[in-house]
Amino acid sequence: MSHIEMENLKKTYDHQQNVLDGINLEISEGEFFVLVGPSGSGKSTLLRMIAGLEEISGGLLKMNGNVVNHLRPKERNLSMVFQNYALYPHLTVEQNILFGLHARKVSKSEQKKRLMETAEMMGLGDLLKRKPKQLSGGQRQRVALARAVVSQAPICLMDEPLSNLDAKLRAHMRMEIKRLQQQLGLTLVYVTHDQVEAMTMGDRIMVLHDGEIQQVGDPITLYNEPANLFVASFIGSPKINLTRAKVQDNQLYITDELKIPLRDTFLPKKELIVGIRAEHIQHATDETATHELEVITVEHLGNETSITFSVGNDYWTAKWIGQWQLKAGDKVKVSLTEEYLSFFDPVTEELIQPARVHAKEDEVVAI
């Protein structure tokens, strides 16, 4: 079992600044769990507390049911991959991979066996005699991953391991890390500030902000039913369109001219914040159009087009499949209907009601 529990976990510095405040969380065996949030949210601090590299100020940290607050890092039976790879420049790839096993006095025969298995798995067989300076960024990252894999520790911690790689290599390494985690059955705790990494890799995601948990759930739940405005804005690319609106006579007034009928939605407040995802601003024909919006900018992405519209004092972005030949100033007919809208409290910023429709019928795949 490689089960991690946190009970009211806290971290303070100088008994004043709360970096993490009352973290309650369970991570299941074999789970790919992602900690995501902006810089300074406390995610790397939490990871280092799990590793034993940061002292726990309060609460309990358990692994497999046992309290480990007092245990040193080497006694916690876990491996860690750092953002800067942390390779020894004077050692070869082989020596870097085996460094931890050598320190734990694993037999030479067992070291060799694990090295060959891991090198083949990671595609490092031809690089074992090279030094880190002779490797590319992606190769160094694979060496750091190999060092974690060869330890055969059931828990692996990763602190923004892909942030130093270019976009193409990051996409490839995301797939490789996910494949390795599934193949080895690791309990993997992964820290990132990149919500795309979080959405594409995690079985579950915890969103942190200012040291407090905002929401924990699977990627689709966080996208479709964000607990508050912070989660709604942080999860999703492009980010959700948000604007203030008023309810009057069963009409939702985005602006004086732009209003949306509320036929099936009861809202307890007269003023609120409305959110709509980019894919839910739909192009419409003369027969199906509900509104006409003015184009501000157009971004051509090849297989899809990102269009920014002027909506009162705000800008809304739509994402449409295909190559749309539009330009700034064009008036475009769209369909904006209540079932695609999410509603938030303007004071507490908590979700009042999520969008009732999350995808078109032809976009839903049942397996």
CATH code: domain of residue 54: 3.40.50.300
Position 142, amino acid: R
**Number of domain units in the chain:** 2
Q: Residue 350 gets which letter from DSSP?
A: B
What is the domain-level CATH number for residue 344?
A: 2.40.50.140
What does the pLDDT read at residue 283?
A: 94
Same domain (yes/no): 206, 245: no
CA distance 259 to 336: 9
233 within a domain of the structure (yes/no) = no
Element at 285 (helix H, strand E): none
What pTM does this model have?
Answer: 0.89
Question: Which of 194, 227, 260 finishes a domain?
Answer: 227
Same domain (yes/no): 213, 274: no
Q: What is the pLDDT along the chain (367 residues), one digit of tens a residue?
A: 458 999 999 999 876 677 898 999 999 999 999 999 998 899 999 999 999 999 999 999 999 999 999 999 989 999 999 888 889 999 999 999 999 888 888 899 999 999 998 988 888 999 999 999 999 888 898 899 899 989 989 999 999 988 888 888 888 888 888 988 998 899 999 999 999 999 999 999 999 999 999 999 999 999 999 999 999 999 998 899 999 999 998 889 998 889 999 987 778 878 999 999 999 999 999 999 999 999 999 999 999 999 999 998 899 999 999 999 999 999 999 999 999 999 999 999 999 999 988 654 444 444 4
Same domain (yes/no): 202, 280: no
What does the pLDDT read at residue 2?
A: 55
- Quickly list DSSP for 142-189: HHHHHHHHHTT-SEEEEESTTTTS-HHHHHHHHHHHHHHHHHHT-EEE
232 within a domain of the structure (yes/no) = no
Structural domain of residue 102, as residue ranges? 4-227
